[in-house]
Amino acid sequence: MRARWLLAICFSAAMAACAPPDLPNTPVSLQPPYTDLPDPPPGSTIEPGMPVKLDQRQLEAMIEGVIKWMKDPASVSFAKINGVKNRRGVITVCGDVSGRNSAGTLVSKSPFVGALMGAPKTPTFVVVEIGALGKQRTTVEALCQQSGIFRLRDAEAKGN
């Protein structure tokens, strides 16, 4: 009897270890009309931008764009929001977001990256990725670095 009980506990623990983590966000995917855009040519690079201060409309668009991917929008908080604008006028925004998962547990900050699209008076924010896990986090950090944002953060940390 005791062996069955021990086996049941081990099986439950093994199953819990195999379960995917309960993230604060749902999986991010591009939404129309951006799903129809062609892939960049092989060997393409991201053009780094120059730092820009986001205006109120841009900040609101960014918040709205990120919150729609979060499981508990009321629990969301943001930090380290930075934007850069490239020569084509595209503004890339990176920052950190935290929120509660399905179980109501507050999950630590995850980096995110996206782009402001549309007219300046009515911008929308297209989330490219929220880096809650290792591979996603690495992807977000690389995109922000290539865009010039992490270099900006590094300078801020040093007091420049």
Tens of pLDDT, residue by residue over 46-91, are 888 999 999 999 999 999 999 999 889 999 999 999 999 999 999 9
Tens of pLDDT, residue by residue over 25-49, are 767 766 777 677 777 788 877 888 9
Q: Please state the domain extents for the chain.
A: 21-158
**Sign of the torsion angle spanned by Cα atoms 55, 58, 60, 63:** negative
Element (H, E) at 60: helix 56-67
Mean pLDDT of the chain: 80
Which of 55, 56, 42, 66 has its CA nearest to residue 115? 66
The predicted pLDDT at position 96 comes to: 95
Tens of pLDDT, residue by residue over 112-134, are 999 999 998 999 999 999 988 88
**Residue with token string 């940390």:** 157
For 100, residues 6+ apart whose C-beta sits below 8 A from its C-beta are 24, 71, 72, 75, 106, 107
